[in-house]
Structure 1
Amino acid sequence: MQALRWGQVRSWPSKAALAAALLAAAAAAEAGDAGALCSATAAQAPADGRVAALIAEARAQHAAFGRQEIDSEGRLVRAGFGEAEFDREPGDPDPTWQKVQRFWSAWSPGSPGQVRDSQGRWQRTDLLRQGVNLASSARLASFGGEASEIGLNAREADALDASVQRAALVDNPWSAVFISYLMRQAGFGANEFVFSDAHADYARAAFATGRHEADHQPDTGAYRACDLADTPPRPGDLVCNTRARAAAITDFQALGLALAAGGSLPMHCDLVVDVNRGAHMARSIGGNVLQSVTLRSLALEPQPDPALPPRLAARYREHAADPDASLNDQPWVLLMQLR
């Protein structure tokens, strides 16, 4: 080591720099522990008995929506029923739009609570529906009018009320409430999963669960956050991508920091329903994918260590900047792994 000359002052790192270095080292150690746990869990079949019910409900909804499908090259190979339509399978009494409404109601009765007007401004759906009711013939007749001469008849009022509800389903993304619906139907409780209309809320909870595990603290969350670039998916896990390309949130670490900062973050998650490691293929089901419940095939690729199970193909993330080429080319960065 070079000796200091008389009068020369050694330049020591600032307190802020030291703190940052210590935090980085701690985060790296924590990430290493979490990564090892993620890898070990990925090599085992999910032990939670509710996985079968979770996947069965997802498959049932996919069938009810007309079995829309995207292949591993990101091509739409089968079109299903749209979110606001009256389409349904033969013998099914409920049109598609009422099924989407059921997803919302399972999360929060009366939602979605807003709809856009012609200028794109949000208006309350409850007030609009009240207005339709007030304009009905029966309602106006109660104020002394002739029901046959004024107001909307029952069918007209019903058509307007349904139109408000259907428009709200189009204006409000429902992919997160679809996942929340599946979790609730399978028997997961609020202490295990954050039921929400935003994927970021339960993704944030999964990161918190991972931190608690690394610190050997108790946590009741059903899912931990794992790096999808390194961790093979299993049935019952959630695979998630980000939609905030402008913020360059295209890897696991960046996502964790963004979620820790709080606030909203555009994301999407699918439920993994099948993994064929021999064929290097995983399949997932998600809601509000091209306005329907959609089955997606995702290619897997071998890891450097052939003893490890295959992971999600890197090409989807690498081509995420040009998603027009493939519907699968997204920043798939987060695996919510069932503990």
Structure 2
Amino acid sequence: MAVETKRAGKRSPWSMRLAGLGLLLCSGWAMSADQCPALRGRQGDAEVATRIAAIACDEHLRWNRPFIDTDGRLASSAVYEAESRGLQDGGSPWRRVAFYWQSAGLLSPMAAKSGATDCNYAINSTYPGLGCRGFVVDNPWSAAFISWVMQRAGVPGFRSSASHFDYVRAARVDPERSPYRFLDPMAAAPAVGDLLCYVRTNRVYGFRGLSDTIDGGASGLAMHCDAVVAANPGGDGKAYAVGGNVQQAVTMRQFNLNASGQLWGVPQRTEGDVECSPDTQGACNFNRQDWAVLLKLKSQAELALIGPVQPPSYLPNQVVPQQCCVNCVVGSGVPRCPAPGQLPLQPPLEGQLQGSE
């Protein structure tokens, strides 16, 4: 028996290598906590927070999963906003950005911008849309992306805007009707559905400075917000946030968390920071920003007091077909609307509608 036991306990070098490889793979799976592949199918979830994360995740995957790691390095980037193709579904990045603008209802407020009107037609892949392409490249679209995500998720009380500052200010000055609370990002724990925001100016504001600026009646400020899609203080110790127009794509950021779930070791901009350059590579970090506010999504019960929390019956993930135009663009392929008193145009058959790329 002793001999048999000893034989059973022996392992060949090959089997030991396999076992080690298995442990390594299992360890890698345990440490990897990008939940976007699992989340993307939950866009109709009953929880508002889950819908926000699922929709942002789905777009991140569509853009081939570019990300900035916890050290602030752009670790992966495959496609950029100005390109004509390259999305996961074969679509055009710049037309997809035009779609965010249109579906969020933000093209009309931007009509004075060159090429904005062109985008109503350019989301149709048969139209060249050079003006719209220029509009996409020339105008920051991160707020349009967040607005589209929130609208698609059916977040009650959220007001779409081409400026992040508008909904950041709303959380500060109108806390009862805003779906978000205005909190210090270095003192609160980020969770799914939250927005983590920084100020994009040469001046460093921080939480106190941003609060004072809003309380002083400021009407605008250049900002950027990412949507938190996962926070795992007890898992891999990281938070994951997705934003639009981050390195010209829909990009994920990774942050370290402490045991309490708060941001840990996130570099903050300070006055007199050394500029990033080939000679000062230690100062180069895409996560070093003026992180000034965490917009904390209210609970499902609190959101229900603001408005409906059920998934929207219409989820705008396809191009809104334009059946006729008044101020028509030559070559758009969209027929002119009839003059008053004339018979209306017959709507195209369902199979004739152009979908998004």
Q: TM-score range by the shorter chain?
A: 0.5 to 0.7
Q: Is 1:100 matched up with 2:97?
A: yes
CA contact (8 A) 1:316 1:330 kept: yes
Per-residue Cα deviation, 1:94-127 (whole angstroms, up to 9, x for no partner): 3111111111012226454355xxxxxxx46549
Q: What code does the residue aligned with 1:178 have? A: F
CA deviations 1:31-68 (Å, max 9, x no partner) are xxxxxxxxxxxxxxxx9811111111111101111211
Query: Counterpart amino acid of 1:269?
Result: C
Matched-pair contact (CA < 8 Å) for 1:317–1:331:
yes
TM-score normalised per structure 1 = 0.65
Q: What value does the CA root-mean-square deviation take over the aligned residues?
A: 2.7
Question: Is this contact kept in 1: 2:115–2:135, CA < 8 A?
Answer: no
- Which residues in structure 2 correspond to 1:1-339 (within 5 Å)? 49-89=47-87, 92=89, 94-108=91-105, 110=107, 112-115=110-113, 123=114, 125-126=116-117, 158-159=127-128, 162-189=129-156, 192-210=157-175, 219-246=176-203, 248-249=204-205, 251-260=206-215, 261-278=217-234, 279-302=236-259, 309-317=260-268, 321-322=273-274, 324=276, 325-339=284-298
Deviation of 1:290 after TM superposition, in Å, equals 0.4
Q: Output the TM-score relative to the length of structure 2.
A: 0.62
Distance 1:108 1:168 in 2: 16
In the alignment, which residue of structure 1 is the partner of 2:4? none
CA gap of 1:195–1:167, structure 2 versus 1, over 3 A, is: same
1:240-296 CA-to-partner distances (Å, cap 9, x unmatched) read 1111232x31x2121012123222101110000011102321010000000100011
TM-aligned CA distance change 1:59 to 1:281, over 3 Å: same
Aligned length: 240
Which blocks of at least 5 consecutive residues in structure 1 are unaligned? 1-46, 116-122, 131-154, 211-218, 303-308
Paired residue secondary structure (1:301): coil
Matching residue's letter, 1:167? G
- 2-structure distance, mates of 1:127, 1:62: 26
CA contact (8 A) 2:198 2:291 kept: yes
Partner of 1:10: none
Indicate conservation of the 8 Å contact 2:256/2:266, yes or no.
no
Distance 1:323 1:182 in 2: 33
Question: Matches of 1:209 and 1:330 in 2, distance apart?
Answer: 26
1:209–1:223 CA contact under 8 A, matched in 2: no
Unaligned runs of 5+ in 2: 1-44, 277-283, 299-357
Q: Would you say the 8 A contact 1:82–1:291 is kept in 2?
A: yes
How far does residue 207 in structure 1 lie from its aligned partner after superposition?
A: 0.9
* Distance across 2 between alignment mates of 1:128 and 1:58: 22
Question: Hey, what's the Cα distance between the residues in 2 that align with 1:319 and 1:166?
Answer: 36
Cα distance in 2 between the residues matched to 1:69 and 1:209: 33
Q: Is the alpha carbon distance of 1:223 and 1:163 closer, same or farther for their aligned partners in structure 2, counting shifts above 3 Å?
A: same
* Secondary structure, counterpart of 1:182 in structure 2: helix
Overall identity of the aligned pairs, in %: 31
* In structure 2, distance between residues paired with 1:124 and 1:164: 4
Q: Distance in 2 between matches of 1:229 and 1:129?
A: 41
